Amino acid sequence: MESAAQEINVLIERVKKADLPDKLRELVLVRLNQLTKLTNSPSFLPEFDSMVRYIEWITVLPWNKRTQDTLDLVNAKKILDLHHYGLEDIKTRVLEYMSVMKLKLEKGESADVYRAPILCFVGLVGTGKTTIASSIAEALGRPFARIPFGGMGDPLDLRGQSRMHPEAEPGKIIKALRDTQSRNPVILLDEIDRVTDQGRSSIMGVLVELLDPKQNHAFTDHYIDFPFDLSEALFIATANNTTNIATAVMDRLEPISMPSYTDAEKIVIGQKYILPAAIKASGLPDGSLIIDDDIWANIVRPLGYDAGIRTLERNIDGVVRKVARMIVENIAKSVRISTENIKQFLPQ
């Protein structure tokens, strides 16, 4: 089959030109040369399709692509303050970590030699665990990927399936590297305490490998079947509590408690952070929504106590949507929310 041989040659050239580890390139070229001998075999098409998918994956991974860290502490503090109210202890810890990296670079040493602390933010839903992680990535200038663990029941979700399976694909770690196009991204392991009971022990085993500096320099996804160096990635974990996290995993984490917000703090967060962001996202004109100071307590706690700010975000988003509709339908050009009309805008 001349056309089949030509297609294999195209793959061979693609592999030769790709930025791959030399050993991996050799292995794939051997497989492709073996495939040329099967062009008249019934098994050729399945094998060929499998190799095409495999080569598509390995050639898009950032084997040698790094992101240059932005170690400007003044700018980093501005970014952290821009997105988060309070949390001074956590911000201090991030700036300390960046300071060590900066000093090592100034001495001519690799910043990656410094083993980044694996922070684990622990707190109730809505206390800012996920957003502080993305802010750390922004402050460092690194791409950010989030891997949700809630409901995860199979370690293959992380490590991928063997190519022996027809519908096999890489796991979430490799997909995060593909999406970020960097071998040193910030990877958020979100809610690692919420994996299923059935798969907990196996998933915790994969986490130990990911978080252990002695092991993560050669992480092997079952699909890729070749070690990938994850030692330069910055892992951050979150959890609602640490009860369901294996001891071996906790030994590799530095838990940091996320404080619950008081009503007074929520009011500041609502006024300075959430409302401006919601107005911008909705496209409302400047000055079209004004909320009187004395009704913020109703917005913060209309239906009861919430340790986080999820309820506050939902309430503000709901207010903004109602105002947007009023403006679009020409009911009003601007809206002022006061004690007289608050019930019109908040859930009862």
Task: Give the pTM.
Answer: 0.83
Domain boundaries, the chain: 2-58, 73-257, 263-345
Characterize the bridge pairing of strands 227-228 and 219-220.
antiparallel
Q: What is the pLDDT of residue 72?
A: 87
Confidence band, pLDDT 50/70/90 cuts, at residue 108 = low
pLDDT digits (tens, 9 = 90+) for 114-146: 565 689 999 888 788 898 999 999 988 999 999
Residues facing 239 on adjacent strands: 122
How many beta carbons lie within 10 A of that of residue 148, not counting itself?
15
Residue with tokens 């980093």: 76
Inform me whether the pLDDT recorded for 2 exceeds 70.
Answer: no
Confidence band, pLDDT 50/70/90 cuts, at residue 113 = very low
Q: Is 148 helix (H, G, I), strand (E, B) or coil?
A: strand
Query: Which has the minimum average pLDDT: 3-7, 126-130, 168-172, 213-217?
Result: 3-7
Residue type, 156: L
Quick one: average pLDDT of 253-275?
88
Inform me whether the pLDDT recorded for 306 exceeds 70.
Answer: no
Inform me whether the pLDDT recorded for 111 exceeds 80.
Answer: no
Inform me whether the pLDDT recorded for 1 exceeds 70.
Answer: no
Residue 322 dihedral angles phi and psi, to the nearest 5°: -65, -40
Quick one: average pLDDT of 309-317?
86
Superfamily name and number for 73-257:
P-loop containing nucleotide triphosphate hydrolases (3.40.50.300)
Inform me whether the pLDDT recorded for 303 exceeds 80.
Answer: no
pLDDT digits (tens, 9 = 90+) for 202-217: 999 999 999 988 889 9
Q: What is the pLDDT of residue 88?
A: 87
d(CA 52, CA 245): 39
Quick one: which of 201, 200, 88, 202 has its CA closest to 151?
A: 200
Percent of the chain with pLDDT over 90: 53
d(CA 144, CA 234): 10
Confidence band, pLDDT 50/70/90 cuts, at residue 309 = confident
CB distance 199 to 181 below 8 Å: no
CATH code for the part of the protein at 263-345: 1.10.8.60
Quick one: average pLDDT of 43-53?
86
